[in-house]
Structure 1
Amino acid sequence: MTSIRRRLLLSLFGLWITVWAAVALTTLDRSGHEVGELMDAQMAQLARVLREISLTDPQPAAKATPQALSAVGHPYESKLSYQRWLGDRLVASFGVAPVTPLAATIGFSDQEFGGARWRVFGLPGNAPDEVLFVAQSDTIREELIHFLTIQALKPILWSLPVSVLLMWLAVGEGLRPLYRLARSIGRRSAERLEPIDGDGVPAEIRPLTAALNDLMERLDQALAAERRFAADASHELRTPFAIIRTYAQIARRSGDPAERQAALDNLIRGVDRASRLISQLLILARLQGEPRATGRGVASLVRAAARVVADWQTDAQAAALTLTAAAAEGEPGVVAVPAAALGILIGNLVENGLKYTPPGGWVQVAIGSGRGSVALRVTDSGPGIPAADRERVFDRFYRPPGQAQPGSGLGLAIVRRICDLYGLRIEIRDGADGVGLSVLVIFPEPSGSPKAHPP
């Protein structure tokens, strides 16, 4: 499981180690440079001192032997060597210098002899053919460099435990607001979804807090809608099932074949009404749980209307009604709504038109486009809806007073929900010449959508 604390601590430890390694390498490099400069200067100074001393011995011995180290001296004496040459004749030497010249050139150079590396400085002497060589073992420099580097890094090494502790405490303190937020959310339940208090919340967590508050607000609204929906559905389902039970009891007790047949016919109509109500409830429940869904796909409004009209043609003929669909030639009617949702929307509008239009009347589905939008108009020759009730008819289970036709009051509520989901505008108007009812749905055309062969 990923842990923010672990990731932060590992990142900080890695950063601390990287910085420490960089400091160590830099210290080692600078110590080596400065020690080299100091030692080279000392060697050059020593060579010049020896050259001045050689002025007191203008007649050097014909042959020189290496001098023995002092018993009361310093161990570093064995790390220093000296030679004095007159031409090709060694006239003086000190330390472990060989009998051959320490170097072949004047100035500084690096040499190897006696199984070790040496830094050698050659200086011209007082005589024309006199040369002085001073050699220093590299071990002196290495020991001094290591000593200086370790001494410089000791404070950083000693601070490691303190740094680890401080980083642990700092990370814990930095994550404390997250723990408080987690406890605050953990105390909430489905019945307690008030917003999280943003006072004292760090700026980095405010987007998370705002998103959680928005989520809880939407969840609270969804739960409230579900509770209202459950209460309404329970109330609405009680009536048709009570009627079904009544007609079933009549059919069981009746001895009159005609009365029994009438009761069975009413029972079948009650079952059909309950089935339609349950189907509408299921559709509405599914739509209630969906977020706003503009741009999920495109479909042809013309094709969807043609399919719906074909599906309801039998019902229209049985009710002695004329059901037609009209669209301009070549009109694709492409809209940013899936074909399934279009079918439900147009189907509910057509069903309402057929249900409330008297025999001999007509219902027409017309499609047109212009100015970046596509319009669907479902018009019927029925009695229409009073202006005072045209907003309320979109409420669930609402039916205007005086309705004789059976229904659940969910058809237009489902249409309104689909319009809300896909950003559509819906209007209820009077029909042509003030006769009947016209429902207008405005679809914005999808930008860049294909104009041919949509689903």
Structure 2
Amino acid sequence: MSLTRKLTILTTSTVFFVTLIAAGWGFFVSDNQLEELFDAELAQSTRIVQGLVEHLSTTQSEDQLSETLTKTLELPDDIFGTGEEEEGDEILPGGAGHRYERKIAFEVWSPDKVPVLDTLKANDTHNVQPGFAWQEVAGFQWRTFTLKDDVTGYWIRTAQREDVRDELSQEIALGNVLPFLVILPLLAIAMALSIQFGFQPLRKLEKPVRNMAPENIHPLDESLAPKEVVGIVQAVNGLLRRLDQALERERRFSADAAHELRTPLAALRLNLEKACEDNPEQYRDLIQSVDRMVHLVEQMLLLSRVDAGTDFSPEYHNLSAILEQSIADVVPLALKKDIEPVLEDDAKEALVSCNVALINTLMRTLLANAIQYSPEKTAVTTRLEPSADGYHISVCDQGPGIPPEERERALSRFVRLDQRKGGGAGLGLAIARRIAELHDGHLTLSERPDHQDGLCVNVWLPARPKKSRLGRS
């Protein structure tokens, strides 16, 4: 899992759980505060009725007071409804009031506790106590507030259904919490984008490392690194410098060793030829061994030059003409085994930006390998065809082939597989692949298209390299 994804998941999860906890706590606090507010409103309503009773009791008898309070405070609808009428708008049609009014009840008793107004119909005058209380009436829980008027001696009680209080408190509490829940996905997206933006400097460091070639190792720009990873960048730069020095020593050793061996080997071969003038068969195996050593030295020199990438300048050339010349160069080798080199050119005018000497070396290496491992009186087919933004070259022989699991290893340096017998040193395919890579191309091995015995070496070259590595000094 990437660090970006891990941080995004951790931070988003943390914010999610913290927001849920905050929302739950906010809901709990809001619900309790609203209960306190409803109790205060209940007490206030009771005191309003108390003031009304004080005013009317001075001019009206109990019967008249009961009639006046009933007309004023008793609603025509049943306060013990099932709640189905609560669906829809809160405002009643025609300005008749609010639907929650149906869930509020008033009771007034005379000083001797004779009912003057009784919309609740609790019938519990014997158990009336001042203050707040919970009471069950007709299957509903009611919150009540009762007080006694010290002036008139009347008892007044206001009651509100619990389900109405809960509905109101939950709606208001959810209204306070809901914005947190709605904004949570937006916050998660914003955090993910912020983390992505914060890792941009690391991605800028990744690109030069990914595009760095072995022949062009250079330190990373520390100014692009955030302060937290400057130490890592410095350590990587130290490693890159040591790696560049090691590769340079390896290239110099290969080149120096090859140069030092070339002259003694040439002298040794010349002396052997003179020594075996009278009896050439006696020294034939020895001369062949020297020839293999000379070939190895030449390949090591070529590999060191290719790795260094020096003195090569790419120009636009006709790839078809290069292939024709490469095939002509190996015709003498093919004639020794009665092998027919075949060129199938579907591109004709295939212009590519390349180094002619390197591409010619690549093709001669592939053709020589194909001829070496092909049976006598067979054909080696070279095919050139256009592909996306470049050209595809395939060289197919009819030899023993290479198993799929061994093909990648066969492209490594100094690797020779048992079934690919011959006098090589295991550098030919490695050199060919390196030349393809220098041209921003690639080289792979595959079976023949007709699934017959043999091997196909496939090379793809861009018409124009994206970033030429040639000409490095």
Q: TM-score range by the shorter chain?
A: 0.3 to 0.5
TM-score by length of 1: 0.45
TM-score by length of 2: 0.44
